A = this chain, B = another copy of it.
Amino acid sequence: MASHGARGRSGGRPTLEEVAARAGVGRGTVSRVINGSPRVSDATRAAVEAAVAELGYVPNTAARALAANRTDAIALVVPEPETRFFAEPYFSDMLRGVGAEISDTEMQLLLTFAGSDRERQRLAQYLAAHRVDGVLLVSVHADDPLPDLLAQLEIPAVISGPRSSAETLPSVDSDNYGGARQAVEHLLSRGRRRVAHITGRLDVYGAQRRVDGYRDALSDAGHGVDEALIEAGDFSEEGGHRAMRALLERHPDLDAVFAGSDVTAAGARQALREAGRRIPDDVALVGYDDSAIARHMDPPLTSVRQPIEEMGRRMIDLLLTEVADRRPLASRGLDRRQMVLATELVVRSSS
């Protein structure tokens, strides 16, 4: 009956007010029932619930967001181009965990890429508009300005891997250092002596930690670390291929490779093949992630499993707590919530 709202009450779309009238109570009471407040008598609650059911009432989220200044949505931000996202199982596994966990809640998940400058622009706008209550940051590079932007906007955020040992944001990570040690120790125990390492992107802290683990595993076993056996990769297949070729050129006699990711290992495998090296006869190969690729590779790839799905779940948990507490900055330094999950070596025939 409103002047411009007269698009006909057709579809129904009952309002809180209508539910209240139907149940014979006030607006506030219905709101309390909808939002699960305990301050409602059982009888009233029942009456309201009946009215809600009869009318098929569904809250209008826009109105709620406007009045309550929250959106019931969080964003998963991937600071990579879409192509990389789909190429790397790490991301999709993470998304799966996140999706599973969030579907138990009323929250809505937004998938956002911030690979190109244009996308980053849009994202900044988006965040500035406070269209999400919280943000999940996956695979952040050391110099990424996003965390600072979020802090400035006072938007709660959780990060998948800390940016450094002095990370201020809550984070969930796997034990990169320990995982790398496991991999290298395994190779050594198999009698391999010239173990190379193709790193991940070194501006990702976790990749650095894997290098540390690689180094320490060798030193602790009484082997020296030959820097020429370390070659930088970037988590990609091409990167793995390129790095492997470089390593073979410098060290034709290497007998094992620990790759920074399964995808990297796939690239390395290709290069090894091209060079006529057999796996694992001539060169043993170990990957990281234990993604689907590892199982499907020929030969099946030994890999360090990190519980990526669980990491996703935990991130959501942390973030929702953060959002509920509404103390994005206040909590820092007090109880820094940095979670580290254990890894596990899955041995297959490539090593």
| Residues in chain A within 8 A of chain B (CB atoms) | 7, 11, 13, 56, 58-63, 65-66, 69, 71, 82-83, 86-87, 92, 95-96, 99-100, 103, 108-111, 113, 118-119, 122, 125, 128-131, 153-154, 292, 298
CB-CB < 8 A to A119: which residues of B? 103
Q: Compute how far the CA of A181 lies from the CA of B82 in the bound complex, rounded to whole angstroms.
A: 33
Q: Is the pair A62, B66 in contact by a Cβ cutoff of 8 Å? A: yes
CB-CB < 8 A to A122: which residues of B? 103
CB-CB < 8 A to A87: which residues of B? 292
Query: Across the two chains, which residue of chain B brings its CB closest to A81?
Result: B96
Q: Is the pair A99, B125 in contact by a Cβ cutoff of 8 Å? A: no
Which of B59, B92, B298 lies in contact with A298, CB distance below 8 A? Answer: B298
Q: Is the pair A86, B82 in contact by a Cβ cutoff of 8 Å? A: no
CB-CB < 8 A to A153: which residues of B? 11
Q: Is the pair A113, B131 in contact by a Cβ cutoff of 8 Å? A: no
Query: Across the two chains, which residue of chain B brings its CB closest to A83?
Result: B96
Q: Compute how far the CA of A19 lies from the CA of B130 in the bound complex, rounded to whole angstroms.
A: 18
A10 to chain B, nearest CB (A): 8
Q: Is the pair A113, B128 in contact by a Cβ cutoff of 8 Å? A: no
Q: Compute how far the CA of A95 lies from the CA of B83 in the bound complex, rounded to whole angstroms.
A: 11
Q: Compute how far the CA of A278 lies from the CA of B103 in the bound complex, rounded to whole angstroms.
A: 45
CB-CB < 8 A to A99: which residues of B? 82, 113
A63 to chain B, nearest CB (A): 5
Q: Compute how far the CA of A118 lies from the CA of B103 in the bound complex, rounded to whole angstroms.
A: 9
Query: Across the two chains, which residue of chain B brings its CB closest to A118?
Result: B103
